[in-house]
Structure 1
Amino acid sequence: MSLPRHRVVLASTVGSVGLAVLALAGCSASSGGTSAGATSSASVGGPIVVNQTDNECRVSTATAAAGTITFKITNGGSKVNEFYVYAPGGRIVGEVENITPGLSRELEVKITEPGSFQTACKPGMVGDGIRAAFTVTGTT
């Protein structure tokens, strides 16, 4: 039995974060975490910043180039939050769950084709969450 694609991305992201912490001890800059040959306009300048509170979900940009896209999610609220990227039809492309207050997490998603997606935060893991349009341009 294989894991759903979004779980595999999350598992590899969590492992990569641990390695990145060790690598950062001797580095002052990062290439943005994109895979070879695949770049994202957001990744070139760093990750897409997502600031969550108990009532709000702010994503720093609504557009990125196809490839590996990195989101840096920070929970500035008082409740546990989540962050999702949805493909058309509601399919989850990537997710980070259980982001406790004051914690920052990164999520890398690989999107190889252009299209209309959605980002979502779920303050306190209740309700429908907060969704915003997110557009991927170009191809890898």
Structure 2
Amino acid sequence: MKKLVICLMSVTLLMLTLLAPTTAHAAENNEWVLYRISAPINYSTVNTSDIKNMTVHFGVNGWQEIKDVQLNRSIVDYYMGRTFESFWVDVYLKKGSTLDYCFKYDFNSDKINWDNNSGKDYHVVVDKSNIN
């Protein structure tokens, strides 16, 4: 039975790898790059299993073209019964543009927290893709 479960898991992982979208590895062109926005998580103060979902609120070049996008969720590690996760989303941006953003945490308890970098928001000049 154990071998059957391992075999099924292996086939599933192989199928997911073969069917996975490849846009995350898109090459840069002359104007646009694929950029990953990742949420900073302080694991000593936030238990990620308490987070219902997380949204990035972002704009470009001084908060123009504002969008709200729900972040993807990935398990990073398990340690001593605790799950550590990352939250991220990939967006296409023009080279040289400034990405302005902050994060909204929605908790299972219906509590909402905003992370705006202590009132300064997050800003980064996008000069190349940060997707490997």
When normalised by structure 1's length, the TM-score is: 0.41
When Rg is computed on C-alpha atoms for both structures, the one with the higher figure is 2
Structure with a larger share of its residues in strand: 2
